[in-house]
Amino acid sequence: MKTGKGLRFAAAALAGVLALSACGGGDEGSDGPADLRMTVWSANEAHLKLLNEIADEYRKNHPDVSAITFDPLPFENYTTTLTTQIAGGNAPDMAWIFENSAPDFVSSGALLPLDDTLKKAEGYQYDDISPATLKLWQDGGKLYAYPFSTSPFGVFVNTDLLKQAGQKTPAELIAAGQWTWDAALAAAGATQRTTGKAGLVIRDFDYKGWDNLSTFWTGWGAQAWSEDGKSCGFAAPEMVDAMTALHKAIFTDKALPGPGTTADFFAGDAAMTVTQISRASLLKDDGFAWDLAPLPAGPKGDYAVVGQAGIGVLKKSKHADAAADFLAFLTNPTNSEKLAQFFPPPRQSQLTAETLAKTNPKLKPEQLQKVVIDGITSGVVKPNHAGQAELSQQVRAGLDPLWKPDADVKAVLDGVCAKIQPLLAK
Amino acid sequence: MSQTDIRVGGAPAPPTPGQASRPWWTSRRRDQLAGYLFIAPQLLGSLLFVFLPLGLVVWYSLHEWNVLAGTFDFVGADNYTALADDPNLGSVLRATGLFSVGLVVFNLALALLLAVLLNQKLRGTIVFRTIFFSPVVVSLVAWTIVWGFLLQDNGGVNGLLDTIGVDGPNWLRGEGSAMLSVIVVQVFKNVGLNMVLFLAALQGVPAELYEAAEVDGASRMRQFWRITVPLISPTILLTSIITVVGSLQVFAQIAVLTQGGPGTSTTVLVYYLYQQAFQFHHFGYGATLSILLFGIVLALTVLQWQMRKRWVFHES
- What pLDDT does B2 receive? 42
**Same-domain status, A135 and A235:** no
Position A359 pLDDT exceeds 70: no
Position A58 pLDDT exceeds 60: yes
Instruction: Give the separation between CA A420 and CA A404, rounded to whole angstroms.
Output: 21
Position A20 pLDDT exceeds 50: no
| A109–B70 C-beta distance less than 8 A | yes
Domain of residue A216, residue span: 153-305+382-424
Residues of B in contact with A19 (CB under 8 A): none
- What pLDDT does B34 receive? 95
| B259–A87 C-beta distance less than 8 A | no
For residue B274, what is the nearest residue in chain A, using CA coordinates?
Answer: A80
**Residue A287 counted as domain residue:** yes
Residues of B in contact with A426 (CB under 8 A): none
Q: What are the tens digits of pLDDT across the range A149-170?
A: 888 899 999 999 999 999 999 9
Please tell me if residue A134 touches chain B, with a CB cutoff of 8 Å. Answer: no
Q: How far is A1 from chain B (nearest CA, A)?
A: 17
Q: Which helix (H) or strand (E) holds B74?
A: strand B71-74
Percent of chain A with pLDDT over 90: 68
Reported pTM: 0.84
Least confident interval from A2-11, A131-140, A201-210, B210-219: A2-11
Size of interface A-B (CB pairs under 8 A): 86
Q: Which one has a higher pLDDT value, A413 or A46?
A: A413
Nearest to A259 among B47, B173, B264 (CB): B173
Q: How far is A243 from chain B (nearest CA, A)?
A: 18
**Same-domain status, A413 and A314:** no
Give the confidence band of A235 by pLDDT, cuts at 50, 70, 90: very high
Instruction: Give the separation between CA A401 and CA A417, rounded to whole angstroms.
Output: 14
Residues of A in contact with B47 (CB under 8 A): 10, 13-14, 17
Please tell me if residue A403 touches chain B, with a CB cutoff of 8 Å. Answer: yes
Torsion over CA: A274, A278, A279, A280 (sign):
positive
Three-state secondary structure of chain A: CHHHHHHHHHHHHHHHHHHHHHCCCCCCCCCCCEEEEEEECCCCHHHHHHHHHHHHHHHHCCCCEEEEEEEECCHHHHHHHHHHHHHCCCCCCEEEEEHHHHHHHHHHCCECCCHHHHHHCCCCCHHHECHHHHHHHEECCEECCEEEEEEEEEEEEEHHHHHHCCCCCHHHHHHCCCCEHHHHHHHHHHHHHHHCCEEEEECCCCCCCHHHHHHHHHHHCCCCECCCCCCECCCCHHHHHHHHHHHHHHHCCCCCCCCCCCCCHHHCCEEEEEEEHHHHHHCCCCCCCEEEECCCEECCECCCEEEEEEEEEECCCCCHHHHHHHHHHHCCHHHHHHHCCCCCCCEHHHCCHHHHHHHCCCCCHHHHHHHHHHHHHHCEECCCCCCHHHHHHHHHHHHHHHCCCCCCHHHHHHHHHHHHHHHHCC
Q: In chain A, how many domains are there?
A: 2
Residues of A in contact with B43 (CB under 8 A): 13
Give the confidence band of A394 by pLDDT, cuts at 50, 70, 90: very high
Please tell me if residue A226 touches chain B, with a CB cutoff of 8 Å. Answer: no
Give the confidence band of A22 by pLDDT, cuts at 50, 70, 90: very low
Compute the half-sphere exposure of residue A223: CA atoms within 13 Å on the CB side of its CA.
Answer: 16
Cis peptide, bond prior to residue B262, ω within 30 of zero: yes
Torsion over CA: B43, B49, B52, B57 (sign):
negative
Give the confidence band of A260 by pLDDT, cuts at 50, 70, 90: confident
**Same-domain status, A268 and A411:** yes
| B264–A21 C-beta distance less than 8 A | no
**Same-domain status, A274 and A414:** yes
Question: Where along chain B do its domains lie?
Answer: 24-53, 88-311
**Same-domain status, A96 and A139:** yes
**Same-domain status, A246 and A275:** yes
**Same-domain status, A267 and A369:** no
Using left for φ > 0, alpha for ψ between -120 and 50, and beta otherwise, residue B88 falls in alpha
Q: What are the tens digits of pLDDT across the range A165-195?
A: 999 999 999 999 999 999 999 999 999 999 9
For residue B52, what is the nearest residue in chain A, using CA coordinates?
Answer: A14
Tell me the CA end-to-end span of chain B in Å, nearest whole number: 62
Percent of chain A with pLDDT over 70: 92
pLDDT tens, N- to C-terminus, chain B (316 residues): 344 444 444 445 555 555 556 788 899 999 999 999 999 999 999 999 999 999 999 999 999 988 888 889 999 999 999 999 999 999 999 999 999 999 999 999 999 999 999 888 888 888 888 998 999 999 999 999 999 999 998 889 999 999 999 988 999 988 889 999 999 999 999 999 999 999 999 999 999 999 999 999 999 899 999 999 999 998 998 899 889 999 999 999 999 999 998 999 999 999 999 999 988 889 999 999 999 999 999 999 898 888 877 777 665 5
| B173–A80 C-beta distance less than 8 A | no
Residues of B in contact with A86 (CB under 8 A): 67-68
| B278–A108 C-beta distance less than 8 A | no
Whether CATH 3.20.20.70 fits B88-311: no
**Same-domain status, A133 and A271:** no
Nearest to A104 among B68, B170, B262 (CB): B68
| Amino acid at position B93, single letter | L
Q: Which residues of B touch A (CB under 8 A)?
A: 43-44, 47-48, 51-52, 65-70, 151-155, 170-173, 259-264, 275, 278-281, 283
Burial of B276 (0-12, 13-18, 19+ CB in 10 A): buried
Position A14 pLDDT exceeds 70: no
| Amino acid at position A11, single letter | A
Instruction: Give the separation between CA B144 and CA B258, rounded to whole angstroms.
Output: 11
- What pLDDT does A25 receive? 39
DSSP assigned state of B8: S
- How much is the mean pLDDT over chain A? 88
CA B196 from centroid of its chain's CA atoms:
16
Q: Under 8 Å CB-to-CB from A75, ≥6 apart: which residues?
A: A41, A42
In this prediction the ipTM stands at: 0.81
Q: List residues bridging with A221 in a β-sheet.
A: none
**Same-domain status, A204 and A166:** yes
**Same-domain status, A289 and A419:** yes
Q: How far is A35 from chain B (nearest CA, A)?
A: 22
**Residue A412 counted as domain residue:** yes
Please tell me if residue A397 touches chain B, with a CB cutoff of 8 Å. Answer: yes
Backbone dihedral angles phi then psi of residue A245, each to the nearest 5 degrees: -65, -40
Please tell me if residue A25 touches chain B, with a CB cutoff of 8 Å. Answer: no
**Residue A5 counted as domain residue:** no
CA A111 from centroid of its chain's CA atoms:
19
For residue B265, what is the nearest residue in chain A, using CA coordinates?
Answer: A397
**Same-domain status, A103 and A233:** no
